[in-house]
Chains A and B, each alone.
Chain A
Amino acid sequence: MVISPAADQAPPESRDTAPTDDPATDAALVALAQRGDRAAFALLYRRHGPMVHAVVLTRVDLSEAEDITQEVFLLAWRKLGGLHEGSSVGAWLASIARSRAADWRRSRGRRRRHETLASRAESTPDAGAGAVLEAVRTLPQRYREALLMRLLAGLTGAQIAERLGLTPGSVRVHLHRAMTMARARLSEERR
């Protein structure tokens, strides 16, 4: 067997985004998962879990967000056959997260949670985190999502743009307006 040094390999496609946003890997994992490969789906869970959690957290309390994130992925597993563009799985998961979190809010208090996805006792935020989350939740929806995708999931502006279906320039504006508004809210609270 011959090992080809990297310099001798075919020129790879140029890529400006972080590895977690690699559409080719997403597409390959989706194709495997669509054939019932749970290991591949678990990798999608790892890659996109922080982003889905951030989207969910813009709409529900922290104590519920982990459970709902799990439900989003369970729902995604069931619906995966209907996803035609595997490379868009991030945006697709974000849309499921929005819908699931909205459902959860509507039915809160009237529905028993899935037994295998019990909430964790330690998921109550401390005072600092609670204040920040409250401030973030007063922002317009798009601003909230962009800000938490950036601060909690560590996505870049370009990655957020893909998830939200916006241009990178719009996301840049969203992020800065969101941060300015969050600062103002928190500063009002401190007075």
Chain B
Amino acid sequence: MKAAERDWLCDGVGEPDGDERRITDALAGTRWRGDEAALLRALEEDAPIGHTHAPWTRRAAIAIAASATLAAAAWLVPGRGPATPWTLDARGALRRGQWITTGADGSAELSSPIGRVTVGPDSRLRLVRADKREQRLELAEGSIEAFIFAPPRLFLVDTPTATAVDMGCAYKPEVAPDGSGLLRVTGGWVELQASPVATRVPAGAVCRFGPGGQLGLPRFEDAPPEFGAALDRFEAGDPDALDTLLARARPRDSLTLWHLLGRTEGEARRRVGATLANLAPTDADVVSGAVALEPLALESWWERLHLSW
């Protein structure tokens, strides 16, 4: 049994052999598709049973505490738009254009059939659009925590410099007064867009965005400190940091290196591609295509990489 085969079958690293690939390909059509809408409908019908998890006294206490927090710290600016499926705690439907502002100790909770958004302290948020094609919030300042179970790309959060596009996930964007911020993803993944650049941030990773609209590179939160420090320097414009970045990268940091392909040029990009190929081997033509920034090659490599994280 070859080492590469052993790694692929057990760890997802390396290449499957011919039979393994054939068997995997044959099974592709049998993969789980899921039907979240049907499940949620069933849960709705099943509510009385689900609600037995917490004693009613505890649930009542939670509700009262939440209302008190909201009353003390959240203000609503009346909106002019129509009522939407989003509701704000016990205050009823949120309207399009309506701003929610929380104080230093405040918080608020928005809910809709597609998920839940908790607004953190010192935050300003409004609902921009809410229809079948798009559910869009604008976070001007502060933070939110989102649990979303909509189809990918339906739910978006605009910040002053970037847009977070939900791909099925739980995440927390934070925005500073100067428009810079940090996106932290805890489940699924998010695409962070600041035209013309887009960054994919999976669970366990963070990505910064600058006040001028520049997107940082995503990194896993458990990245080695030396790697993180080198990435900070690289993002600050120090090209010499690339040496340390490549030397300190683990296989899991292929997330950062994959994105780095599109942020480097010439010899630097070839070095990134070579390091990435060492950490996460793939076909030679995929490597050369990715270094040439060919979309199909990049996607092919991404598909293999994300299974290993």
Contact = CB atoms under 8 A, between A and B. Distances in A.
Contacts of A5: 208, 232
Interface in A1-42: 1-7, 9, 11-15, 18-20, 22, 25, 28-29, 32, 34-42
Interface stretch (B45-53, B128-136, B285-293): B45-53
Interface stretch (B18-26, B71-79, B81-89, B263-271): B18-26
A11 B203 contact: no
B26 A129 contact: yes
A142 B187 CA distance: 29
Contacts of B9: 150, 175-176, 179
B38 A116 contact: yes
A92 interface: no
Contacts of A18: 307-309
B59 to A, nearest CB: 8
A47 interface: yes
B187 A47 contact: yes
Contact of B141 (A1, A116, A126): A1
A82 B187 CA distance: 24
Given A74-B42, A116-B45, A182-B23, A1 B232 contact: no
A25 B187 contact: yes
A102 interface: no
A19 B204 contact: yes
A156 B10 contact: yes
B160 interface: no
Nearest to B62: A35
A81 B53 contact: yes
Interface in A158-179: 158, 168, 171-172, 175-176, 179
Contact of A133 (B30, B122, B205, B229): B30
Given A6-B228, A34-B53, A37-B116, A43 B187 contact: yes
A7 B10 contact: no
A53 B29 CA distance: 13
B46 A25 contact: no
A62 B11 CA distance: 26
- Chain B interface size, as a band, is 35 or more
A72 B249 CA distance: 40
Contacts of A113: none
Contacts of A13: 222
Nearest to A172: B10
Given A35-B53, A77-B49, 4 more contacts: A35-B62, A43-B149, A46-B149, A129-B26
- Closest 6 interchain pairs by CB? A19-B203, A53-B32, A42-B149, A157-B10, A81-B53, A128-B26
Interface of B: 1, 6, 9-12, 19-20, 23-24, 26-36, 38-47, 49-54, 59, 62, 111, 115-116, 122, 141-143, 147-149, 168-170, 174-177, 180-182, 186-188, 202-206, 208, 219, 221-223, 225, 228-229, 231-232, 307-309
10 contacts: A1-B175, A19-B187, A25-B203, A36-B51, A43-B170, A45-B39, A78-B46, A150-B10, A154-B307, A176-B6
Interface of A: 1-7, 9, 11-15, 18-20, 22, 25, 28-29, 32, 34-43, 45-47, 49-50, 52-54, 57, 62, 65-66, 69-70, 73-74, 77-78, 80-81, 114, 116-117, 125-126, 128-129, 131-133, 148, 150-154, 156-158, 168, 171-172, 175-176, 179, 182-183, 186
